[in-house]
């Protein structure tokens, strides 16, 4: 059973100090990685446009979500090791390997160098990936924090300089992460802390997470993964058309049901988690309203995490980080340990 008193219990919160501290330091990591990458970023220009961009490694799909709407050349997020057969010297291969050692990423980097591709890589300078990336066509963005989000933000800043992506300001993203850390501090009680409030709302529920835009949907998948790890329960992130049948099949809550029944887990109700990044797209707003109406009709709890200010990447970081804090507080309330 979830004990909300644990969210204000100093000893219980100390048990999650390591993961809470890592979440709180996300803004500092972005600043540090951006500062370390200043010199190589300054060498990037949009003088020569590549034929296509191929992204590999951790957070490649995040790059695709940000770049696809605006990238002036074809963009591919390549999930497998190696490269597509058509990739060659006219193409840009972007690799994020903040941990610096995954064998599949090493193979991809080696293949990019062998084919003479332009290579933009974010990885530790003293790593096997960096060794295989060495070439005249390689720009290495040094990383040290083993943080995929920080590496992705710096890489997006580099792609902006190449004329391939939108404006991404690492300082502004870091500020957004700092704001979430302040708002979700363990020293704030549940009435002031949106992450603790979300954790309490999901205490005995099976979360159904939704984000309407491509980036919000990606945040919803990451948050669902964290909630599964935190609670040991099912948590689903999906599109509106996939979530609506689940919501519509729910029987309205029985006000006389005993919450302490032995089979309570078998009848655990869902809770709808809406990650709203402020998109005014008519289809996104329609799906948001459909989900909310279905949940309210079937007496399903609705939890909304909203961020309507800042760039796309800033709003994504805000939604994602709030969900991550909530997952930690959910684990604390359940007496579990989670390492995100």
Decide if pLDDT at 189 tops 90: yes
Whole-number pLDDT of residue 59 = 86
Mean pLDDT score, 137-143: 96
Q: Who wins on pLDDT, 254 or 215?
A: 215
CATH of the domain at 239: 3.40.50.10490
Write down the mean pLDDT value for the chain. Answer: 93
User: Does one domain contain both 141 and 221?
Assistant: no
Whole-number pLDDT of residue 261 = 59
Q: How confident is residue 57, by pLDDT bands cut at 50, 70 and 90? A: confident
Q: How confident is residue 340, by pLDDT bands cut at 50, 70 and 90? A: confident
Whole-number pLDDT of residue 80 = 73
Domain end residue (candidates: 111, 140, 172) = 172
Q: Counting beta carbons within 10 angstroms of the beta carbon of residue 177, is it exposed (0 to 12), middle (13 to 18) or buried (19 or more)?
A: buried
Tally the domains of the chain: 2
Mean pLDDT score, 285-307: 97
Mean pLDDT check: name the lowest of 41-50, 73-82, 290-299: 73-82
Whole-number pLDDT of residue 79 = 77
Whole-number pLDDT of residue 240 = 97
Decide if pLDDT at 100 tops 80: no
Q: Is residue 177 part of a domain?
A: no
User: Does one domain contain both 78 and 148?
Assistant: yes
User: Does one domain contain both 41 and 10?
Assistant: no
Mean pLDDT score, 148-157: 95
Q: How confident is residue 260, by pLDDT bands cut at 50, 70 and 90? A: low
User: Does one domain contain both 9 and 51?
Assistant: no
Range of the domain at 287: 4-16+188-254+261-333
């Amino acid at each position: 059973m979830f004990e909300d008193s644990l969210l204000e219990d100093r000893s219980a919160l100390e048990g999650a100090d390591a993961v809470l501290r890592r979440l709180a330091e996300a803004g500092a990591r972005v600043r540090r990685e951006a500062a370390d990458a200043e010199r190589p970023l300054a060498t990037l220009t949009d003088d020569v446009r590549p034929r296509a961009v191929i992204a590999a490694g951790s957070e490649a799909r995040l790059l695709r979500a940000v770049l696809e709407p605006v990238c002036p050349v074809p963009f591919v997020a390549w999930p497998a090791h190696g490269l597509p057969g058509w990739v060659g010297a006219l193409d840009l291969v972007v690799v994020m390997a903040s941990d610096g050692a995954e064998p599949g990423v090493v193979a991809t980097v080696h293949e990019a160098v062998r084919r003479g591709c332009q290579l933009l890589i974010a990885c530790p300078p003293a790593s096997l990936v960096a060794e295989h990336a060495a070439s005249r066509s390689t720009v290495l963005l040094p990383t040290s924090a083993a943080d995929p989000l920080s590496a992705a933000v710096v890489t997006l800043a580099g792609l902006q300089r190449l004329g391939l992506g939108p404006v991404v300001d690492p300082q502004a993203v870091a500020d957004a992460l700092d704001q979430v850390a302040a708002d979700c501090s363990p020293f704030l009680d549940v009435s002031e802390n949106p992450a603790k409030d979300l954790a309490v709302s999901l205490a005995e529920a099976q979360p159904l997470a939704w984000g309407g835009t491509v980036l919000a949907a990606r945040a919803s998948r990451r948050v669902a993964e964290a909630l599964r790890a935190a609670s040991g329960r099912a948590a689903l992130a999906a599109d509106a058309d996939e979530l609506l049948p689940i919501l519509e099949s729910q029987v309205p809550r029985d006000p006389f049901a005993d919450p302490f029944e032995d089979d309570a887990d078998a009848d655990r109700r869902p809770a709808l988690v809406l990650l709203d990044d402020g998109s005014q797209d008519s289809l996104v707003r329609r799906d948001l309203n459909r989900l909310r109406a279905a949940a309210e009709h079937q007496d399903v709890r609705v939890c909304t995490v909203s961020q309507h200010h800042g760039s796309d990447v800033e709003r994504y970081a805000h939604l994602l980080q709030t969900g991550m804090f909530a997952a930690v507080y959910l684990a604390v309330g359940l007496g579990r340990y989670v390492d995100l």
